[in-house]
Chains A and B, each alone.
Chain A
Amino acid sequence: DSGVTQTPKHLITATGQRVTLRCSPRSGDLSVYWYQQSLDQGLQFLIQYYNGEERAKGNILERFSAQQFPDLHSELNLSSLELGDSALYFCASSIGLADSSYEQYFGPGTRLTVT
C-alpha cells in the first residue's frame, strides 16, 4: 500500500460525457502528479500540482483539467470524452519541491472505459 488513494477504481461512461477522478496523496506529500496509461501510448505524464499550484504540464488535452485543493487532494476532470480516452489514470505524490531526489508513490489507478 503506497498510501495514495484514488477513486473510483473503475468508471464506465459514454462518449461526450464528463467525469471526475479523485486522488488523495500520502500524508505530508505536497506534490501530486497525474499520469495516463493507454495500450498504445504507455505511461504518460499529464500534469503536476504543488501545494495547490500547477507546476508542470505534459501531454494533457485541452478537454482535461485538474486542480489541487487546500487539503491537498486533487481531481482530474475529463470532458467531452472520446473512445481514445479509455485508459488507466494514475495519481502519484511526492514530498515536494527541492533540489533533492524524491521518489514518487503511485496510487492503484482508475480504469476509465468510454463506450
Chain B
Amino acid sequence: DAKTTQPPSMDCAEGRAANLPCNHSTISGNEYVYWYRQIHSQGPQYIIHGLKNNETNEMASLIITEDRKSSTLILPHATLRDTAVYYCIVSKGGAQKLVFGQGTRLTINP
C-alpha cells in the first residue's frame, strides 16, 4: 500500500471550513483514498473515500488532484465535535487491511 504524508496537527476555528491535506505521491491506479477519524479513544470512524473524482457526502468533501498524488479533506463547517485525529489511507479497496499512519490531530477552537 502507498504511504501517505499528513501534517501532525492543525487548528481551525469553529464554523470555518477545515481543510486537511494528504500527500500520496506513490499511489497506484487501482488504489483508493480513504479518510477515517478517531475521536479520543473511540473506534475509528469512516468519513469518505474516492478513486479519481471529487466526492461529497453528509460529513465531508474529498478533493483529489488530477495526478492523484495528493488530496484534501474538507469539513465545511467545523464544530467542536470534529476535534479528532484524521487519517488519510491509501488502499486497494475491497476487503483490504487499513494501514494507519500518524494522522493529523485537528483541533477545533471556539
Contacts and interface: CB of A to CB of B under 8 A. Distances in A.
Contact of A58 (B44, B97, B102): B97
Interface in B14-54: 32, 34, 38, 41-46, 49, 51
B2 interface: no
B110 interface: no
B8 interface: no
Contacts of A37: 41
Nearest to A111: B41
Contact count band on B: 20 to 34
Nearest to B91: A101
Given A42-B102, A44-B100, A105 B46 contact: yes
A98 to B, nearest CB: 5
Contacts of B49: 101, 103
Contact of B43 (A45, A100, A106): A106
Interface residues of A, number: 35
A102 B99 contact: no
B95 A94 contact: yes
A50 B99 CA distance: 18
A45 B98 contact: yes
Residue of A35, A98, A104, A111 with most partner-chain B CB within 10 A: A104
B43 A50 contact: no
B41 A99 contact: no
Residue of A4, A43, A88, A96 with most partner-chain B CB within 10 A: A43
Interface of B: 32, 34, 38, 41-46, 49, 51, 87, 93-102
Interface of A: 2, 4, 31, 33, 35, 37, 42-45, 48, 50, 55-56, 58, 88, 90, 92, 94-109, 111
